Amino acid sequence: MPRVLLAFAVMFAVYQASEGLQTVIAPSSAIGPALMAVALLLAWPLGRWLGWRGYDAFGLDLHPRSLALLGSGMILAALAFLASRSMGAAIGAYGPSPSQDVSATALMVGAALLTTFVPSVAEDILTRGFLLKAWPVCRSGWIYVPVTALLYTANHIWRLDWGISEQVRLFCLGLAYGAAAWRWRSLWAAVALHWGWNLSNVLVDQWIPTDTLQIDAARYVSAGVNVAILAIILLVPKLGYRGGPDEHIRS
């Protein structure tokens, strides 16, 4: 346990330094995104130090079916995000933006893929991966899912002053992501939803510019849609996927 806690502390410190720079201290600095990449890269030697095959320590296996899990989850997240924006627009939470920049170059899409993937995976390792495999103290999904949702919410320490609607939104996202990771015993299931949601946010804002007119309403719509994702996760079959804490290979 001491090694796991120390590994978590090291990655947490680097991750939060990156978040603080990007959110509050120096949003335009390249140091913040660079530190986020460092946090993700650090996870591999930390996983080795814990006695695993690097990222396997957090449920990021290289099983061939992980790709199918990733793809299907990203599609679900994208559809859910579009539904969230549509419902938000219907109740007046979003409105058309005067911005006319709707360019969608291959370079922009590639940058969006990278800049949303790195923080999504890094945060999933911190808030779900450690408890999924490296330190599986939550032996039941009924414990793992809410605990990791709380950890995910608390991990956004630079947003604690954003109001209760943001904390509710984060917790509901955390429930969906945590349930996916537990259901398929793979962090890729959570990454798929997390990355898919964040990527959709960037691309939709680029292609269909909108302004948020009612921030609390928009957040509650997002929370509700993710509760719906949670229900879908609990109802769909596992598609034969096998993985998780009890099927690891240590080196």
Is residue 89, in this structure, part of any structural domain at all?
yes
Number of domains in the chain: 1
Residue 181 Cα distances to 36, 75, 120, 245, angstroms: 22, 16, 14, 11
Task: Give the integer Cα–Cα distance in Å for 213 and 211.
Answer: 6
Task: Give the integer Cα–Cα distance in Å for 187 and 70.
Answer: 10
Q: pLDDT digits over 85-105, tens only?
A: 999 999 999 998 886 666 667
Is residue 6, in this structure, part of any structural domain at all?
no
Give residue 240's domain range: 60-247
Task: Give the integer Cα–Cα distance in Å for 121 and 114.
Answer: 11
Q: pLDDT digits over 155-194, tens only?
A: 999 999 999 999 999 999 999 999 999 999 999 999 999 9
Q: pLDDT digits over 47-80, tens only?
A: 999 999 999 999 999 888 899 999 999 999 999 9
SS3 readout for the chain? CHHHHHHHHHHHHHHHHHHHHHHHHCCCCCHHHHHHHHHHHHHHHHHHHCCCCHHHHHCCCCCCHHHHHHHHHHHHHHHHHHHHHHHHHHCCCEEECCCCCCCCCHHHHHHHHHHHHHHHHHHHHHHHHHHHHHCCCCCCHHHHHHHHHHHHHHCCHHHCCCCHHHHHHHHHHHHHHHHHHHHHCCHHHHHHHHHHHHHHHHHHHHHCCEEECCHHHHHHHHHHHHHHHHHHHHHCCCCCCCCCHHHCCCC
Is residue 126, in this structure, part of any structural domain at all?
yes
Q: pLDDT digits over 132-164, tens only?
A: 999 999 989 999 999 999 999 999 999 999 999
Is residue 44, in this structure, part of any structural domain at all?
no
Is residue 1, in this structure, part of any structural domain at all?
no
Task: Give the integer Cα–Cα distance in Å for 24 and 161.
Answer: 12
